[in-house]
Chains A and B, each alone.
Chain A
Amino acid sequence: MPAPAFEIHDMTVAYQRRPVLWDIDLELPEGQLVGIVGPNGAGKTTLIKAALGLVPLASGKVEIYGKSYFEQRRLVGYVPQRESVDWDFPVTVRDVVLMGTYGKLGWFRRPGRAEREVADRCLDQVGMLPLANRQIRQLSGGQQQRVFLARALAQDAQIYFLDEPFSGVDAATEAAIVELLQTLRASGKTVLIVHHDIQTVREYFDYVILLNMRLIACGPVDVAFTKENLQKTYGGRLTILDEAAEAMRQREPNR
């Protein structure tokens, strides 16, 4: 049996010793669009960051196609939240998309004509090629998000992690993103998407991860996205987990 595209074993993530994700254990097959859904503070972004090695794991492990992230980073594409970068930075739209190719280039090698062609093709895919020479501070929110998606496409990955790609974008961009996601799925890519709008989960995704500090459910939308599971996810925080986390924090001596 082939290794699943993405697998988390007993993962716990803590900030300052205070756990924000408890004992997450899940497995995702290849070629699915996966929504990560849960209330604010449920640990959705943390799940992605832990999977990408951006925050340390307190315990457990994450595997991408059966190996650790560090061995497989070339298979991974990442779209952080739009607000996480400075849009006043002196680069053009094409420069940003070119950054997607940096991972495969390795240290010291500069992007050349081949990379620029990749960047332009990716820009064309999100309908932003006419704005390739724009400075990024002149873009609207939806355009910024498209640029980020084009950059992820330029990473030419097998598995993508998107952190709230739909937040603050116009309807046209949302439709364009959904179409793009379907193209990716059709070519066998796996895409994990942090998502806020419960209304559109059934429409957009094949799989869903319901999260609220611990894993509520992970499975095909038909099976996992039930009223009961949603109630568990959104029906208030699990007070025992909160209390336990608080207790661990209080024990921490150097506070």
Chain B
Amino acid sequence: MQLPVTLATLSPDAWIVLTGAATNVACALVGCFLVLRRMSLMGDALSHAVLPGLVLAFLFSGSLGIVSLFLGAAAVGLLSTFLTQTLHQYARVPSDASMGVVFTSLFACGVILIKKYINGLHFDIACVYEGSLELVPFTDSLAGLPRPLFTTLVVLIVNLALVLAFWKELKLSSFDANLATTMGYPSAALHYLLMTMVAVTTVASFEAVGSILVVAMLIVPAATAHLLCDRLAVMIAISAGVGIAASVLGYWAAVYCDTNIAGMMTVASGVLYGLAVLFSPRYGICSTLLRNLSMSIRVLREDLLSMLYRIEELDASKSLTAAKARAALDSSWLARWAIAALARTGRIQRVGDRLQLTDAGRDDARQLVRSHRLWETYLVEHLGMPLDHVHEPAHRIEHYIDDRIRQELEENLETTEQDPHGREIPD
């Protein structure tokens, strides 16, 4: 089969970016499930453990053909998962320790097999760690594509097909393994399926991006997507998108800095993760800060409104200067902001250097003071709290009392005319 694009028609840059993106997407598909199952480091472990499988596949088939490589990887993936589970279950080894034992031992076996039986095979350590994306356009071609890209695309398609086919089963067993098992979808079997996919994906990505960076590609885009969304399908789509973006940005940055491409792609996905941590709309640090800030300003605005209301209530001829208001609110620049916001929305007006409630502002303030005094009454009537202890809690909670709670309070109180201090509760 010959694809319409061939090595000749695309620039080397495009091939490199395509290979990086395909690897990232293939990894993201399985990586999402690893992250959700809290098994992120399984990718790391498996990427080492597959080594003896690769060596044996090479020894038996005499080549590094794609089929024998995948069979070897899948076999060792299954074996190492089996060994880890068995050690954990029957030898009472903690699961992290059994992972550590099994995967390092298998890796060591692989190293020994190489030294013993494969003479003269060029085994470049740097290449294992950082891959050789740079060389992708110059490799031999399969079906008109560079071999590493072809390999990765096959795995990408297989992963996509498996995730789609077992969508419901993978989702259920990742969320609630016991329920899956009781429904007849053995979660152990699905675990093996996923681990095999991870093993095969790692092997496929090995040549292009190396054994260490593939771990990042499994985990980082998935973890980024987890911060940004609330649905599993969306999470997988976003993680694939993050992977593609990281490939493009990483390539561009690597060329700019003249350094290793796969490494830069990983750094790029790390940067995207950092951005998500900071700016994720719901869980990001900045959005939380912003939310807290806007709540503080709201509290200040409402405190000022009820302060002005109480002053009017005591003596209609008195009023408050802006400077005194700021001092009373005890937080200079936020208070300034709050006063400006109230003036802008027509809740207060400045008369000379004094602040006065407008009609709209008085209505808002009345509701606040009503909430405050209803709450005080409730604390005294129902919780039997002493009079001199009820102002502070009411002051804190008045900002959160909505119409519904206010109505419930009214229904539960004997008197809604006067608060326990004998002041009128406004309507």
Contact = CB atoms under 8 A, between A and B. Distances in A.
Nearest to B234: A90
Contact of B181 (A53, A91, A99): A53
Contacts of A80: 176, 178-179
A107 B169 contact: yes
B235 interface: yes
Interface stretch (B46-54, B224-232, B365-373): B224-232
Contacts of B226: 90
B129 interface: no
A114 interface: no
A84 B36 contact: no
Given A107-B169, A108-B165, A89 B175 contact: yes
A129 interface: no
Interface string A80-107: 1000111001111001100100110101
Interface string A6-23: 000000000010000000
A41 B38 CA distance: 27
A239 interface: no
Contacts of B235: 90
Nearest to A155: B183
B230 A99 contact: no
Contact of B182 (A54, A91, A95, A254): A54
A52 B182 contact: yes
B229 A90 contact: yes
A78 B234 contact: no
B182 A76 contact: yes
Interface string A38-59: 0000000000010011100000
Interface residues of A, number: 30
B91 A254 contact: yes
Nearest to B231: A90
**Interface secondary structure of A, over-half rule:** loop
A86 B172 contact: no
A73 B182 contact: yes
Contacts of B179: 78, 80, 99
A111 B175 contact: no
A92 to B, nearest CB: 7
B91 A53 contact: no
B29 to A, nearest CB: 15
B382 interface: no
Contacts of B176: 80, 84-85, 99
A125 interface: no
B198 to A, nearest CB: 19
B184 interface: yes
Given A90-B226, A99-B175, A254-B91, A110 B167 contact: yes
Contact of B183 (A86, A103, A108): A103
B192 interface: no
A7 B231 CA distance: 40
User: Which of B166, B169, B172: most chain A CB closer than 10 A?
Assistant: B172
- Please classify the interface of chain B as helix (H, G, I), strand (E, B), loop, or mixed, using the class held by over half of its residues: helix
A167 interface: no
Interface string B161-202: 000011111011011101111111100000000000000000
B423 interface: no
Contacts of B122: none
A86 B229 CA distance: 16
B404 interface: no
Contact of A78 (B36, B38, B92, B178): B178
B193 to A, nearest CB: 12
Nearest to A99: B172
A135 interface: yes
B234 A84 contact: no
A49 B179 CA distance: 11
Interface in A104-136: 105, 107-111, 135
B36 A89 contact: yes
Interface in B88-118: 90-92
A170 to B, nearest CB: 15
B28 to A, nearest CB: 14
A121 B167 CA distance: 24
A57 to B, nearest CB: 15
Contacts of A96: 175
A77 B55 CA distance: 48
B178 A86 contact: no
Nearest to B169: A107
Contacts of A108: 165-166, 168
B314 to A, nearest CB: 41
Q: Which of B38, B168, B179 has the most CB of A within 10 A?
A: B179
A168 to B, nearest CB: 18
Contacts of B174: 89
A78 B175 contact: no
A135 B182 contact: no
19 contacts: A52-B182, A53-B181, A54-B182, A73-B182, A73-B183, A76-B182, A78-B178, A80-B178, A85-B176, A86-B38, A89-B232, A90-B234, A91-B230, A95-B231, A99-B175, A102-B168, A102-B169, A102-B180, A103-B184
Given A90-B230, A102-B180, 20 more contacts: A52-B178, A54-B178, A54-B181, A73-B183, A73-B184, A78-B179, A80-B178, A80-B179, A85-B175, A90-B226, A90-B232, A91-B171, A91-B231, A92-B230, A95-B232, A102-B172, A103-B183, A103-B184, A108-B165, A111-B168
Interface of B: 36, 38, 90-92, 165-169, 171-172, 174-176, 178-185, 226, 229-232, 234-235
Interface of A: 16, 49, 52-54, 73, 76, 78, 80, 84-86, 89-92, 95-96, 99, 102-103, 105, 107-111, 135, 254-255
Give 10 nearest A-B pairs by CB, closest first: A103-B183, A135-B230, A52-B182, A90-B235, A85-B176, A89-B175, A90-B232, A78-B182, A99-B172, A90-B230
